[in-house]
A and B are shown apart, each in its own frame.
Chain A
Amino acid sequence: MTLPKKNNINVYRQVGTEPSSKELVPRRQELLDRITKSDTYLPDEILHDDLDMGMLEFVKNNLKVVSDGEQIPIIPKILTVQRWNEITNNWTFADEDGNMKVPFIGIIRKPDVQPGTNPNIQRTIPDRRQIYYSTVKTWNGNMEGADVYKMPQPVAVDISFEIIIVCQKFRDLNKFNKIVLQKFSSRQSYTTVKGHYIPIILDRISDNSPIDALENRRFYLQSYDFTMLGFLIDAEEFEIKPAISRMMLMYEFMDTKNYTKKYTNRTIEVTTASFIANGEQVTFNVGESIGFLFFVAINGLVQQRDIDFYWITGTPRITFVTAPVAGSNITILYYAGKSNVFQDSYGRLLFLSTQYFVYDGSSLIFTVDHEISDIIYVETNGLVEEDGDGYTWNGNQITYLYEPIIGSRIGVVYLR
């Protein structure tokens, strides 16, 4: 069998082929998911201890050295002066005297954390301005809206670590050195802190073996100085503000019927305007366009349009034929829409209608022009009747339950 003359690995996707699942948007989504806290849409916060943990994980996972068939233990804590006694007492790799068994690898973090030098996130946005992060939909059970998530730019920090290896064999030093130099062959390597890639730079390697103390226990001690180019994301600085919370749209899909039912939760604002008459004023202005006038009442008595008062549709003014008596309470109930058309919860159009009758004694049944969807009110000579007590309604008929005085004016306001 002959060997292929060319490498048959296609590193470039051919023109016209679809991107794989790991490219572009899916890959970006994957990266976003990694940094997003499980119960919010915001990134997990990253503080000093998280970065320290990232360094620990990096060392534990990448700088493993095997000596005499066993991995050289890595002290699984950041070393500090204060906690050292506790660590040695609890750690497995301590001898009967509580001393660390040599060889071992330890991680020392220098206490002073310096301003960051990571070029990606340093000195790009002045101050601590809140920057837009995302818009997240909200749902409170009735309304759908959105919250705007903001956060300031992460703070770049440089954290210095010293990884030390204490051992008694030169070969162990060689092994550790090889692993570190391989890992940092391009000067830096990366650890992952809550989904973020954090660079670590190898600064210096130095030997601190006690070569002068001839009459002491002998061991090798080498230090590897690293700088982690980290950044801080403080959840305390996150800001969430509501954006839109005016409208909810819900789609209900019916399996058996191939249509969509749209539910609209709209509030129909009916306004009551009250005035006290001064005995001279005949025109009263509600200050906004009246789309539909339910009624105008003087001291509770409903007035009849075009007889007691005039109103031009769409205008805000009610003009009485004669000025109401001083001190009279004038009530105007209206809908401030552009017309007398409403939508019900399913988007159906509803029309408001008003119709007047004069009772002539012939029948207690009054027939309106359209099918009644709902009664707004029925009044007799300006006094509102109670549904079921003064009248009943069905279809397009109003049936009085008592006999009004002949010649009474009967007004019906209804939805059709």
Chain B
Amino acid sequence: MENKLPITRLTKFFSEDDYLLHIQMGQEYLHGDLNMKVVLYQVDRTITDTDDVYGEVGKDQIKYKLPIEINCLVQIVQAENKSYKTGLLRYLEPGNMILSVYIKTIEDLGVDIKFGDYIGYADSEKRIRFYNVINDGKINADNKHHHFGYKPSYRTIICSPVQENEFRGV
């Protein structure tokens, strides 16, 4: 049974009802007006057959749960020219994808976003790019993620692009 620890901060000015109202208004804007969606591929760590020594998996061997669409605010960093070896082996990939997701949205869907999960985001009608969660944003006790100091309202999830030999949604 979950412990319930009532939050009594700001009770004179702000209550749980106010909080929920704000979240609801935010979701209305995010889900209704913006309607930005990503697809979450939660890696099923139970049935994915990993290497005994290094915990690695073969190509297309990652098993994941049923993909779920999640509404969130999507920000993709501009692509940057990089090189594998100083000045050589250049590559130009999309920058990291930064997602802002209401905690309530995740809870309503009954899912969690963890390190190593994959996120798909449709660049265009023809192409979906995949990203790997490299910061699941679970530690969100900072002021930025607190709603008026009442309690955290959203998570910032940072994802890095992956190549299709690592994950391609199959």
User: B-contacting residues of A (Cβ < 8 Å)?
Assistant: 68, 79-81, 84-85, 88, 95-103, 106, 108, 162, 164, 166, 168-171, 208, 214-219, 221, 223
Contact between chains at B84 and A164 (CB < 8 Å): yes
Question: What are 12 inter-chain pairs, A to B, with CB distance below 8 A?
Answer: A81-B87, A88-B90, A97-B92, A99-B92, A101-B163, A101-B165, A102-B166, A164-B85, A215-B135, A215-B158, A217-B132, A217-B161
- Report if B5 contacts A (CB, 8 A): no
Query: Assuming the A-B contacts A97-B92, A215-B134, are A171 and B54 also in contact, with contact meaning beta carbons closer than 8 angstroms in the complex?
Result: yes
CA distance A92 to B58 in the complex (A): 21
- Report if B51 contacts A (CB, 8 A): yes
Contact between chains at B90 and A217 (CB < 8 Å): no
Query: Assuming the A-B contacts A96-B127, A171-B54, A215-B160, are A108 and B85 also in contact, with contact meaning beta carbons closer than 8 angstroms in the complex?
Result: yes
- Report if B28 contacts A (CB, 8 A): no
- Report if B164 contacts A (CB, 8 A): yes
Number of A-B contacts (CB under 8 A): 73
Q: List chain A residues, Cβ under 8 A from B164.
A: 95, 101
- Which 10 pairs from chain A and chain B are nearest by CB? A68-B59, A99-B91, A170-B54, A217-B160, A169-B56, A68-B58, A84-B90, A166-B84, A215-B134, A81-B87
Nearest B residue to A173 by beta-carbon distance? Answer: B54
- Report if B162 contacts A (CB, 8 A): yes
Task: Report A221 CB to chain B, min CB distance, Å.
Answer: 6
Task: Report B24 CB to chain A, min CB distance, Å.
Answer: 32
Contact between chains at B91 and A168 (CB < 8 Å): no
Nearest A residue to B85 by beta-carbon distance? Answer: A164
CA distance A163 to B160 in the complex (A): 27
Contact between chains at B85 and A208 (CB < 8 Å): yes
Q: List chain A residues, Cβ under 8 A from B112.
A: none
Query: Assuming the A-B contacts A170-B54, A215-B134, are A85 and B89 also in contact, with contact meaning beta carbons closer than 8 angstroms in the complex?
Result: no
CA distance A102 to B54 in the complex (A): 18
CA distance A166 to B88 in the complex (A): 13
Q: Quick one: which of B138-165 are within 8 Å of A by CB?
A: 158, 160-165
Q: List chain B residues, Cβ under 8 A from A221.
A: 84-85
Q: Residue among B85, B96, B127, B158 with the most chain A CB within 10 A?
A: B85
User: A-contacting residues of B (Cβ < 8 Å)?
Assistant: 51, 54, 56, 58-59, 84-85, 87-93, 96, 127, 132, 134-135, 158, 160-166
Nearest B residue to A219 by beta-carbon distance? Answer: B84
Q: List chain A residues, Cβ under 8 A from B59.
A: 68
Nearest A residue to B54 by beta-carbon distance? Answer: A170
Partner of B54, one of A95, A169, A216: A169
Task: Report B68 CB to chain A, min CB distance, Å.
Answer: 24
Contact between chains at A81 and B163 (CB < 8 Å): no
Nearest A residue to B158 by beta-carbon distance? Answer: A215
Partner of A85, one of B51, B90, B166: B90
Q: List chain A residues, Cβ under 8 A from B96.
A: 215-216
Contact between chains at A164 and B89 (CB < 8 Å): yes
Nearest A residue to B82 by beta-carbon distance? Answer: A216
Contact between chains at B93 and A84 (CB < 8 Å): no
Contact between chains at A217 and B93 (CB < 8 Å): yes
Q: List chain A residues, Cβ under 8 A from B127.
A: 96
Task: Report A78 CB to chain B, min CB distance, Å.
Answer: 11
Q: List chain B residues, Cβ under 8 A from A99.
A: 91-93, 163
Task: Report A112 CB to chain B, min CB distance, Å.
Answer: 15
Contact between chains at A100 and B91 (CB < 8 Å): yes
Contact between chains at A102 and B56 (CB < 8 Å): no
Q: List chain B residues, Cβ under 8 A from A218.
A: 160
Task: Report B170 CB to chain A, min CB distance, Å.
Answer: 14
With A164-B89, A214-B134 already in contact, 11 other A-B pairs whose C-beta atoms are closer than 8 Å: A84-B88, A95-B163, A97-B93, A101-B163, A102-B163, A108-B88, A166-B84, A166-B89, A217-B132, A217-B160, A221-B85
Nearest B residue to A108 by beta-carbon distance? Answer: B88
Nearest A residue to B61 by beta-carbon distance? Answer: A68
Q: Residue among A97, A100, A214, A219 with the most chain B CB within 10 A?
A: A97
Task: Report A28 CB to chain B, min CB distance, Å.
Answer: 43
Q: List chain A residues, Cβ under 8 A from B54.
A: 169-171
CA distance A146 to B88 in the complex (A): 53
Nearest B residue to A168 by beta-carbon distance? Answer: B166
Partner of B56, one of A80, A98, A166, A171: A171
Query: Assuming the A-B contacts A79-B88, A100-B91, A214-B134, are A170 and B56 also in contact, with contact meaning beta carbons closer than 8 angstroms in the complex?
Result: yes
Task: Report B74 CB to chain A, min CB distance, Å.
Answer: 17
